[in-house]
Structure 1
Amino acid sequence: MAGTLGTVGFFVALVLVIVVHEAAHFAFAKGFGIKVTEFFVGFGPRIWSFRRGETEYGLKAIPAGGYVRIAGMSPYETLAPEDLPRTFGAKPIWQRALVIVAGPTTHLVLAFVLFALWVGLVGRPVATSPLIAAVAPRLDGQVSPAAAAGLRPGDRIVRVGDLVNPTDLELVRYTREHVGEPVPFTIERDGRRFEVTLVPVLATVAGERVGRIGVLLGRARETAGPLGAIAGGAGVTWDSVVETVGNFGRVFGPRGIGRVLELLLTNAPRTERDPASVVGIGRVAAQTASSGAGDLLYLFAYVNVFIGLLNLIPLPPFDGGHLALLALEKVRGRAIDARKIVPVSVAVLAFFVLFSLSVMYLDLVKPISLAP
């Protein structure tokens, strides 16, 4: 139940934050006197709407975010002569830049707030060996290896095979690589250590058959006071920005595209470093909620960093593409004919849609699981 609630809550929050993104564009446009004709939550057929002033507000059938329609943003829009002074292109470059950057900035600000709450209320994991939070009595109807060996919540795995003090992900990988093989574990309980031998078995996790021993991992944590949470939130936000920028090159570059093609065309298994779509992230949210809802703050904050930076990629139709065109306009001294940019926007959009659908398909047929 916790996992289902985690998934539903994650997607509801994701839609709301995208609406907030659009609301930021809306607020800055209105603040600078730019005409905004529509502000809708969702896409597709109109369900309900009302008009206040010159703007129509409402709901549409597909709850996948929202949009605002700003006068002058479309090169094919027909504008009344009296509206020309209030179009997007009629405003100074700095005002247009603020309207554009307001959306992505909301994601980064929200990420900082969520990271600060996570550091202050949930706490950063302390660098220790994997901590067992729960033991599954059975896996696919059979007694789990961990339960059969007498492992308990609170036990710490200080060695598995030849790995000393493994990380959580190293434990997951090692377990999956040694299905059906006797694996020696060193367990620490109440200050003393003892050895057990477990044989990882194939079990169904998120629709996929993977090697498991039947434990749910927890983490020793260290919380912080208000000032420490603010400083920690800023630090984690910066680290996430740096990591995400690096991941863009890895995921969307030649190696990343090649990896997706390999996963689509072969039986190669997925790893936790492979890209995930909203389907995969929703599944991770369910697993995260099952082991403690607090880490959903971290997951959602990280997703906001990703969305914010993705929107700043300097290619149309992303917000960053519009900023790049404004910079070019500033250098040239005259506006760019937006109609000439449409083919680039279509090509970029087609690439990202195809990439997203491919990864979504992989999330359905080769889901990623983080459970050992």
Structure 2
Amino acid sequence: MTVIAFVVGVVLLVVGLAVSIALHEIGHLLPAKAFGVRVGQYMIGFGPTLWSRTFGETEYGVKALPLGGYISMAGMYPPSPKDVAAAADGGAAGGTEGRAGGGFFATMVQDARTANDETLAGSDGKRVFYELPVHKRIIIMLGGPIMNFLLAIVLMTIVVSGIGLQTATTTVAAVNECVLPAGTTQTECESGDPASPAAAAGIQPGDVIVSVDGTPVDTFAEASAIIQASPDEPLPIVVERDGREQTLTVTPMLAERQVQGEDGQVTTAEVGFVGMTATVAYVPQPIWAGPEAAIEQTGAVMGIIWQLPVKVYQTAVDMFTGQERDRNGPLSVVGAGRLAGEVAAVDAPVLDRVASLLGLLASLNIALFVFNLIPLLPLDGGHVVVALWDGLKRAWAKLFRRPPPKPVDATKLVPVTFVVVVALVVMGAVLILADIVNPVKLFG
């Protein structure tokens, strides 16, 4: 059963990732069509095409490897110099070929121009991406990442507001019969052990704490804060029992307990102690808690992305030295799938596992959002930078009343794009290998 649950978790993550990619590309597709750009293809995945259908002028399909997707827009870049020269000569032969000089990168530039020119075939010259106003190009390129961010907000909202966060409620789960000596290995009360303050006050399991020392409380943490700050002081506690409220008096005893500070550090301190525990339940949070959680996690992911090469290097070091992986470090798709399988297979209530899987998928969408904003081609952020540079050139020319400049030819950046792609492939390979031989451990 555990193996089946593991496989189900992996499959659910793959399906969720495919849906996330599909929505990302829809985020590009919808504004592109709204602005009149000719879109030739909308594809999910890479490699051989498994299924496709053409509706209108666009072919929609699914490919074998669900590790990405793309839409093919007419004129992502301006036409190559040879086409511009041919148009200027009225189509006469002998125009400038516009071919870059020899060399590997020059060939890559020319190949990119040729592929771009193919997307221009069949267009009327007015439905191409590069001729759109700058703000429309930016909207198209940001549409994909924003779609991932919106999906992350929806998933986070389902988790924290629909399902809720596990919270210690004001309902008493258990009351200690006695107070055991500090540092003892004793597990049961003996005749000489003093009764716990909660038991002495008459607090019973199932009681709902209404107020402590005259202060209404909504969570067990609020009640605990008052109790811990009041050792050896009699405190009136109002509890609801069997539908009726009654007031009990409890005197917290001074005891050493582990306390977590605001910085997250756990220290030992002398605090008030009464000897009762709370019932833990899912408590739905306000509707705005989901967006807040998504924004907070976005900031954390940005902290990882901007130092991604360093994080990947450290992951490689941990892999070769056998050190435990950083749980907050980068993961590959393999690592994410493995985590999803572990979450699905863990011995926990189904609702816990569903919440964890949705949270993991939300985290992946936030990672897609942040990663695609990196201002380097071929990522969406790189196309935004190209559009902004084009707009800046046009604004500068207009300011000084100069003729409009030629559109920015991003195919010249193909060598830089190639280096970025190689770097991404290398880092991805390192992460995949690390996720296989030295995976992140959530349990145990």
Fold in common (TM above 0.5): yes
Consecutive aligned runs of 4 or more in structure 1 exceeding 4 Å deviation: none
Structure 1, unaligned runs of 5 or more: 129-148, 150-161, 171-189, 193-217
Q: Which residue does the alignment assign to 1:305?
A: 366
Q: Which residue does the alignment assign to 2:136?
A: 95
Name which of 292, 296, 319 aligns with 1:239.
296
Q: Which residue does the alignment assign to 1:277?
A: 332
- Where 1:2 maps in the other structure, the secondary structure is helix
Per-residue CA shift, 1:229-273, capped at 9, x if unaligned? Answer: x210121011111111112234x14x3243133134433332323
Contact 1:114 1:301 in 2 (8 A): yes
Name which of 113, 117, 120 aligns with 2:161.
120
Q: Which residue does the alignment assign to 1:354?
A: 426
Give runs of aligned pairs for residues 173-322 of structure 1, distance below 5 A: 191=276, 220-224=281-285, 228=286, 230-250=287-307, 252-253=308-309, 255-289=310-344, 290=346, 291=348, 292=352, 293-322=354-383
- Where 1:49 maps in the other structure, the secondary structure is strand
Q: Partner amino acid for 1:274? A: G
| Greater shift in the superposed pair: 12-21 or 262-271 | 262-271
Contact 1:122 1:295 in 2 (8 A): no
Distance of aligned partners of 1:29 and 1:359 in 2 relative to their CA distance in 1, 3 Å threshold: same
Deviation at 1:371, TM superposition (A): 0.9
Per-residue CA shift, 1:264-284, capped at 9, x if unaligned? Answer: 443333232332211111111
Per-residue CA shift, 1:178-212, capped at 9, x if unaligned? Answer: xxxxxxxxxxxx948xxxxxxxxxxxxxxxxxxxx
Deviation at 1:82, TM superposition (A): 4.9
Distance of aligned partners of 1:281 and 1:82 in 2 relative to their CA distance in 1, 3 Å threshold: closer
Deviation at 1:16, TM superposition (A): 1.3
Contact 2:319 2:437 in 1 (8 A): no
Q: Partner amino acid for 1:94? A: H
Aligned equivalents of 2:43, 2:433: Cα separation in 1: 29
Deviation at 1:324, TM superposition (A): 0.9
Contact 2:304 2:311 in 1 (8 A): no
Deviation at 1:163, TM superposition (A): 9.6
Q: Partner amino acid for 2:258? A: V
Distance of aligned partners of 1:219 and 1:92 in 2 relative to their CA distance in 1, 3 Å threshold: farther
Distance of aligned partners of 1:332 and 1:49 in 2 relative to their CA distance in 1, 3 Å threshold: same
Aligned equivalents of 1:347, 1:163: Cα separation in 2: 55
Name which of 393, 397, 402 aligns with 1:332.
393
Give runs of aligned pairs for residues 12-31 of structure 1, distance below 5 A: 12-31=15-34
Q: Which residue does the alignment assign to 1:183?
A: none
Rg larger in structure: 2
Deviation at 1:120, TM superposition (A): 1.5
Aligned equivalents of 2:437, 2:283: Cα separation in 1: 38
Per-residue CA shift, 1:264-312, capped at 9, x if unaligned? Answer: 4433332323322111111111222334222212111111111111001
With the length of structure 2 as denominator, give the TM-score of the two structures. Answer: 0.60
Aligned Cα root-mean-square deviation (Å): 2.8
Name which of 64, 67, 75 aligns with 2:67.
64
Deviation at 1:356, TM superposition (A): 0.9
- Where 1:283 maps in the other structure, the secondary structure is helix
Name which of 43, 47, 61 aligns with 1:44.
47
Aligned equivalents of 2:358, 2:257: Cα separation in 1: 30
Structure 2, unaligned runs of 5 or more: 78-112, 170-186, 188-255, 265-274, 395-404
Contact 2:312 2:431 in 1 (8 A): no
Contact 2:316 2:434 in 1 (8 A): no
Per-residue CA shift, 1:30-62, capped at 9, x if unaligned? Answer: 111100111123221223323222222223232
Aligned equivalents of 1:90, 1:111: Cα separation in 2: 32
Contact 1:16 1:65 in 2 (8 A): no
| Greater shift in the superposed pair: 7-16 or 74-83 | 74-83
| Greater shift in the superposed pair: 119-128 or 65-74 | 119-128
Aligned equivalents of 2:338, 2:122: Cα separation in 1: 51
- Where 2:441 maps in the other structure, the secondary structure is coil
- Where 2:45 maps in the other structure, the secondary structure is strand
Aligned equivalents of 2:49, 2:384: Cα separation in 1: 31
Q: Partner amino acid for 2:75? A: G
Q: Which residue does the alignment assign to 1:145?
A: none
Aligned equivalents of 1:62, 1:341: Cα separation in 2: 27
Distance of aligned partners of 1:371 and 1:56 in 2 relative to their CA distance in 1, 3 Å threshold: same
Aligned equivalents of 1:5, 1:115: Cα separation in 2: 21
- Where 1:84 maps in the other structure, the secondary structure is coil
Contact 2:312 2:430 in 1 (8 A): no
- Where 1:86 maps in the other structure, the secondary structure is coil
Aligned equivalents of 1:44, 1:13: Cα separation in 2: 20
Q: Percent identity?
A: 33
How many residue pairs end up in the alignment?
A: 290
Distance of aligned partners of 1:271 and 1:2 in 2 relative to their CA distance in 1, 3 Å threshold: same
With the length of structure 1 as denominator, give the TM-score of the two structures. Answer: 0.71
